[in-house]
Each structure stands twice: as C-alpha cells, then as structure tokens.
Structure 1
Amino acid sequence: MPKVLIAALALALAAPAEAEMYRGTETPDYKVERKVGGSELREYGPTVVAEVTVQGSRSGAANAGFRVLAGYIFGGNAAQEKIAMTTPVAQVPQGDITGGEWTVRFTLPAGSTLATLPRPDDPRVRFLQTDARQMLVTTFSGVPTQSALETALASLKADARTAGLTVAGPPEYMFYDPPWRMPWSRRNEVALPVQ
C-alpha cells in the first residue's frame, strides 16, 4: 500500500510540470479555465516572444519565419548567445487565412525580458511582451493542412458562439512537433483570443 501512495504522490507532484513542458521542451504556461464544446478556454500568463512577418503560403511562410527565428536563437545575435528552443511555433495571419502575410512567433524561455535579450543580427526579428490573455483552443493531430486548419477554426468559432464568448483577434495556429514526427503523434492547435 505505501508504494501506491508514493506513486500517487509522485504523479501529483509531477502534474504541474507537465503543463509547462511538451516532450521535454518548454511551453507557455497556461491554466485551463473550462471545457467549451470540443475546445478549452485557457488563461495564458504574460510571455516574451520573438517574431517575424513573412510573405507566402501558410506552409511556406511557416518555414521562412522558422528559419529567421531559429537563426536568432541558435546564435544569430549580437552576443552570439544560444537561446533554448520552446514550443509551439505560432503563426498568425495578417488578414485572411488564404492571404500572403504571416507573423511567425517563438515564445522565449521563462525569465526572458525585453531588456536582457541580445540584439538580433537579422533586423526583421522583433520582440514583444504579451499580456495575460484568454484563448479558446482546439487541439488536433495529423498534418496541419489548410483544410484541417479551416475545419478546426470553424469548430472553434462555433464553440465561441455557443459559450457567448467574443472573438477579440485573429486566429493563432500553433505547431508543437517537427515535420518529421509521424502525423498521428503530432500536436497542432488553433486558438482564438476571446473575451
């Protein structure tokens, strides 16, 4: 019996850490407020992000933006400092989802501040301190095709309407896994800022 109690205690103590890590990589901290249909209403804390705006199709812009931001965190900065990779890689359309301009964003590790980040070598990289915010989020596995993202977004908007939530900005597409991970084990999310 004591072994069962010890195991239960170990799981309980480990649970909070799971919300901040995904497959060993840091993720933004959030609290699930409640379930809304097939979605979660989450409260995210303030974060510091690095972002770049790029042109192209959604997948082309994701790749281009990732390369620019990866260059920064892998030492492409005035201090030649390597910064830990976090997940997810986020992508926000600037206008219609089928448009050609996208902001690609990395959340920087906990403890990062605008004052202490090294200056990027690439002037397209910019930094932003986000405020705490509420997001309605749906999660799905598989390859994040245009069709899959549109289906997830439509479901999310329906959940927001059903719950009486007001959408307060454009969708955010979040990708947690590298492209070589098998599709059925990938974590993708679509989020809407809500009030």
Structure 2
Amino acid sequence: MAVETPRYATVLRDGDHEVRDYPALVVAEVSVEGDQKTAASRGFRLLANYIFGGNRKRTGIAMTAPVAQQAEGQKIAMTAPVAQVPGAAGAWIVRFTMPSAWTLDTLPVPDDARVRLRRTDPVRVAVRRFSGLARPDDVQAQSAALLAWVRARGLHPTGPVTLAQYNPPWTPWFLRRNEVMVDVAR
C-alpha cells in the first residue's frame, strides 16, 4: 500500500540519523489526553474520521504517512535528555500531513471541532530512524539517543521530540519504520 509522504531535502546523513529541511505543510491535528498509546489511538480515530468523510463535503482524503505524535506544551531544556515523557498521562498532539494536492483553502471543514487544520512553517529537523513497535520505553530511549546526537553535532533543538510512525498496525514489528524527530535551529 503506497501512501504519500512529505517531501524534504536531506542536509546531513549519519547512520540512523539525518538532518532534513521540510517545506511548509498542511496538517490536520488534534489534542488528546492519555498516555502515549491511548492518545495515539484516540487521535488517530478522530483524524481518520475526518479524512474518511467526516467533513462538510463528505469528501474522502487520501491517507499519508507518517502519523506524528508529540507531547503538547513541553519545551526542551538544554540539560534535559528527553523532551517528551512517553507513557505519562498528559496532552498529546496527533497529526496527519495532508496530501500535497490539498491546501487550507481547498480542504473540507471538519465535522468535529477538535480537528484543526493549519499550515506549518518550513522547518529543519534532526531525525533518528528505528524499527519496532514504538513502545513508550523504546521512544524514550530513541529520543535520548537523538538528543545526544544533536548535542554532539552542535545543533540546537527548538521544540519537543515528535514520534513519526509510517506503517499500518498490521505491519510486522520488524518491518515497521518509526522516527523520532526534533526541530533544530538553522
């Protein structure tokens, strides 16, 4: 099953790490409460409802990858090894990137007021790729490794760590593509 992923320019590649430049993107996102797994499930359902016709035009919108999730309202302290606290209850933002054919002006209005449509700013991100189920402990360890790599390269994080998952749930764990990413200063 081929799905669209956002285009980006690779600035640096170093093993499982990359620095990428993403253009402005149009996204649909929700804020949900719970632990990482519960929030991901709730957020996914709300966003899937929107793209499967839960909108004023009853229009279907193609699924894209990745599905992104980040702890809401947390900032990175320069001494903290991890920006999000996977597994802790709290507010999370779950985000779908809209297919590139859509704009804010052409996307249908969501039926559910919890679904927000917005345009992101262009951004440079540091990324660490990993496979597996992206359990909270795994995400925490991968986030710590990403932030250590960022610091070792003299990069400066400017936001929270985001978990990006690229595969449907029926994909075997060893074939799953996951990434943790953090915005960095240019």
Change (3 A) 1:184 1:106: same
Residues 1:64 and 2:42 aligned together: yes
What is the TM-score normalised by the length of structure 2? 0.90
Secondary structure in 1 aligned to 2:50?
A: helix
Report the AA paired with residue 161 of structure 1.
R
Q: CA deviation at 1:111?
A: 2.5
C-alpha distance in 2 between matches for 1:135 and 1:92: 14
C-alpha distance in 2 between matches for 1:50 and 1:119: 11
What is the number of residues matched between the two proteins? 173
| Higher RCO, Cα 8 Å, sep 6+ | 2
Unaligned runs of 5+ in 1: 1-22
Residues 1:26 and 2:4 aligned together: yes
Q: Relative to structure 2, which stretch is displaced further, 98-107 or 70-79?
A: 98-107
Unaligned runs of 5+ in 2: 75-83
C-alpha distance in 2 between matches for 1:91 and 1:38: 20
Report the AA paired with residue 128 of structure 1.
R
2:109 corresponding residue in structure 1:
119
Q: CA deviation at 1:37?
A: 6.2
Residues 1:191 and 2:181 aligned together: yes
Q: Greater helix share, 1 or 2?
A: 1
When the two chains are superposed, the root-mean-square deviation of aligned CA atoms in Å is 1.2
Q: CA deviation at 1:82?
A: 0.3
Q: CA deviation at 1:142?
A: 0.7
Report the AA paired with residue 140 of structure 2.
E
- Which residue of 143, 148, 171 corresponds with 2:138? 148
Instruction: Please give the residue correspondences for 1:1-150 in structure 2 after superposition, counting only pairs within 5 Å.
Output: 24-36=2-14, 38-94=16-72, 95=74, 96-97=84-85, 98-150=88-140
1:9 corresponding residue in structure 2:
none
Report the AA paired with residue 36 of structure 2.
R
C-alpha deviations, 1:122-148, integer Å up to 9, x for none?
A: 010001101111000001001101111
Contact 2:16/2:130, CA 8 A, preserved across alignment: no
Larger Rg belongs to: 1
C-alpha distance in 1 between matches for 2:55 and 2:181: 30
Change (3 A) 1:37 1:183: closer
C-alpha deviations, 1:13-70, integer Å up to 9, x for none?
A: xxxxxxxxxx511001111111246410011111100000000110100000000000
C-alpha distance in 2 between matches for 1:190 and 1:155: 10
* Stretches (4+) displaced over 4 A: none
- Which residue of 143, 163, 170 corresponds with 2:160? 170
